[in-house]
Amino acid sequence: MALASYDVVLRLTRASKTFGPVIALAEGDIEVRRGEIHALLGENGAGKSTLVKVLAGLHRPDSGELEVDGVLQHFRSVADSKAAGISVIYQEPTLFPDLSVAENIFIGRQHRGRFKLIDHAAMRAAAAELFTRLGVHIDPSRPAEGLSIADQQIIEIAKAISMDAKVLIMDEPTAALSGVEVERLFAVARQLRDQGKGLVFISHRFEEVFALCDRATVMRDGRYVSTHQVTDTTVDALVRAMVGRDIATLFPKEEAEIGEPVMEVRNLSRAGVFSDITFDVRAGEIVALAGLVGAGRSEVARAIFGIDRFETGSVQLLGRDIPAGDTDRAIRLGMGFVPEDRRKQGLVMELSVARNTTLTLRRALARGGLIDSRAERRAAREWTDRLQVKSGSLEDAVSTLSGGNQQKVVLAKWLATEPKFLIIDEPTRGIDVGTKAEVHRLISDLAGRGIAILMVSSELPEVLGMADRVLVMHEGRITAELSRADADAETVMRAATGSIEQGVA
């Protein structure tokens, strides 16, 4: 690309970032021109977010070069990035809920009048003027609390404009917006482009990329893949660039005998979160719930287990009804739940391995209301041995174990209850590659013992390698049900982005 340098407002070259053994960004490249909207595409985990955080000054890259407006930059903080003229608008902006809209825009830079006191009226007027320029109507004096996500994003954009930003990065801004709100955001984005600002737009919705963007950069596995002129490319070409990888037999699921339906979910709905979710999971079967972040997968899983309430529909385990919100009954009937966030929801980090393992057994282990600690240790040893948890001693705090071993403790905790149905939300998130295969082997082994498993996963290779059946969700609905044979990366990706809608069997 032989471009005069003054056309380019932002250029990141060969940026890398690792967190311990995890390579979040191997080779991040992007070049944004003045007056263009540049799409950044890639699967979950392709490194887009890390790249954005590098640009935002949240992460300091291990290597690479960053140029903003022709000047070499080394950001040490968010403030540096802002000072250089970069503003990032996140999917869910962090405003101060108790402060007024105007104050959220100008915090730390409030208009001041006599005696250096804040002139609230002038500040409100300035905010109102920004909103008029953007063609939106938000009351500058109302508190930010209760604003829709769309309005919060507009406020972030107004803030960026008031700081005279040169580059605006929008990280999946449309994921939580309605159609009308998306149109309003696009109108604002085009207006900014026409004023010569550079915009980076991250989205999983191809129709939006084609409607809004001028160029698109594709990333995969933390690396730059290609840059396309949007008018010269197709959805197919972009999808190929995004998934084009060998996903052979990384995670082999062993064949298991598939039995009768264990879990029957019928027409499950929760207003605004998911609707009309219907599926079965059979004994020995692994069903993957795939889709993009925010599609409502975890929410469905939580509702089945009873953490959140569903509003209509039914959940039956082995033919017995589980009412909305009744986690206790779910567990008693043989359901287990391995949550996405181990540290916060799956484990009590300060407690010992033994205590964590037997948390679900307190009733069985108690004699006269007190827990028999010898029986507790026996039960803990049995299950941690079976799952080969590597810990110094059962008395060590769980927080001292590695991510993979922590996940095994969570699994052990549920296996000790001898469940019939297990929900596993993002089984290998944050677990290093070596241990991943081991966790997968374990899950496959569980299915082999006749446990029905619902696996929520954002990682395509995991979904394709492990699942007997794949359910794909998009915006709160199941958009495709694919058998192991039919499921391939492109089909799942398209169903997840809403580009196709397959009849659900």
Partner 1 sequence: MSTVTEQPVAHAPAPRASWLQRVLRARELPVTAALLLLVGVTVAFNPLFLSPQGVKDLLLNATIMMILAVGQAIVIITRNVDLSVGSMIGLVAFAVGTLFAANSQIPIWLVFVICIAMGAGLGAINGALTTLAQVPALVITLGTLYVFRGVNNAWAGGKQYFAGDRPEEFGNLSVNTFLGLPWITIVAIVVIAAAAIALGRTRNGRDLYAIGSDPAAAEMFGIPVRSRVFTAFVVNGALTGLAGVLYASRFNSVGATTGTGMELEVIASAVVGGVAIFGGSGTVLGAAIGALLLTTITSSLTALRVDKFWQQAIVGVLILASVMIDRIVSLRTARNLRISEARNV
Tokens of 436: 């991943």
Rg (CA), the chain: 25
95 binds partner 1 (CB under 8 A): yes
Q: Out of 139, 221, 280, 372, which residue is the one contacting partner 1 (CB under 8 A)? A: 139
Which residue from 3, 248, 271, 293 is in contact with partner 1, where contact means CB under 8 A? 271
The Cα diameter of the chain in Å comes to 80
Contact 421, 445 (CB under 8 A): no
Cβ distance 217 to 41 under 8 Å?
yes
Out of 5, 94, 229, 393, the residue judged to bind partner 1 by CB under 8 A = 94
Geometric angle at alpha carbon 404, from 399 and 406, rounded to 5°: 35
The nearest distance, CB 33 to partner 1, in angstroms, is 21
Q: Give CB contacts under 8 A, 24+ apart, made by 483-489.
A: 487/463, 488/464, 489/243, 489/247, 489/460, 489/464
155 binds partner 1 (CB under 8 A): no
38 binds partner 1 (CB under 8 A): no
Q: Are 295 and 476 in contact (CB under 8 A)?
A: yes
Total number of residues that touch partner 1 (CB under 8 A): 59
- 278 is a contact residue toward partner 1 (CB under 8 A): no
Q: Does 234 bind partner 1 (CB under 8 A)?
A: no
Residue 5 Cα to chain centre, angstroms: 35
Q: Pick the piece of the chain touching partner 1 (CB under 8 A) from 23-31, 238-246, 266-274, 317-325.
A: 266-274
**How many Cα atoms sit within 13 Å of 207 on the Cβ side?**
9
Name residue, tokens 């809608």. Answer: 501
122: enclosing H helix or E strand: helix 120-134
Choose the stretch contacting partner 1; rule: CB under 8 A; options: 273-281, 380-388, 428-436, 450-458. Answer: 273-281
Q: Nearest distance from residue 327's CB to partner 1, in Å?
A: 21
Residue 103 within binding range of partner 1, rule CB under 8 A: yes
- Hey, what are 144's tokens? 């930010």
Going from the C-alpha of 470 to that of each of 207, 231, 480, the distances in angstroms are 24, 33, 8
Q: Are strands 452-456 and 274-282 parallel, antiparallel or unpaired?
A: unpaired
Of residues 175 through 194, those in contact with partner 1 by CB under 8 A are 176-180, 182-184, 186-188, 190
Q: Which is nearer to partner 1, 121 or 433 (CB)?
A: 121
Scan residues 446-475 and list those touching partner 1 (CB under 8 A). Answer: 475
The reply on whether position 309 binds partner 1 by CB under 8 A is no
| Beta-bridge partner residues of 146 | none
* Among 274, 279, 337, 383, interactor with partner 1 by CB under 8 A: 274
Residue from 65, 129, 207, 486 touching partner 1 (CB under 8 A): that is 207
| 117 touching partner 1, by CB under 8 A | yes
Residue of 5, 71, 76, 146 interacting with partner 1 (CB under 8 A): 146
% helix / strand / coil in the chain, to the nearest 5? 35, 25, 35
- Is residue 60 at the binding interface for partner 1, with CB under 8 A as the rule? no
What is the 3-class SS of 280-310, one letter each residue? EEECCCEEEEEECCCCCHHHHHHHHHCCCCC
Please tell me whether residue 116 binds partner 1 under the rule CB under 8 A. Answer: yes
Cβ proximity to partner 1: between 182 and 452 the closer is 182
User: Nearest distance from residue 475's CB to partner 1, in Å?
Assistant: 5
CB of 99 to partner 1, least distance (A): 6
Residue (12 or 136) nearer to partner 1, CB: 136
Q: Render 420-482 in DSSP notation, one character per residue.
A: SEEEEESTTTT--HHHHHHHHHHHHHHHHTT-EEEEE-S-HHHHHHH-SEEEEEETTEEEEEE
Residue 101 Cβ vs partner 1, minimum distance, rounded to whole Å? 10
Choose between 295 and 380: whose C-beta lies nearer to partner 1. 295
Work out whether 434 is an interface residue with partner 1 (CB under 8 A).
Answer: no
- Which position among 34, 120, 343, 386 is part of the footprint of partner 1 (CB under 8 A)? 120
Q: CB atoms < 10 A from the CB of 187, how many?
A: 12
* Residues contributing to the site for partner 1 (CB under 8 A): 77-79, 94-99, 103, 107-108, 110, 112, 116-118, 120, 124, 128, 134-142, 145-146, 148-150, 176-180, 182-184, 186-188, 190, 207-208, 211-212, 271-275, 296, 475-477
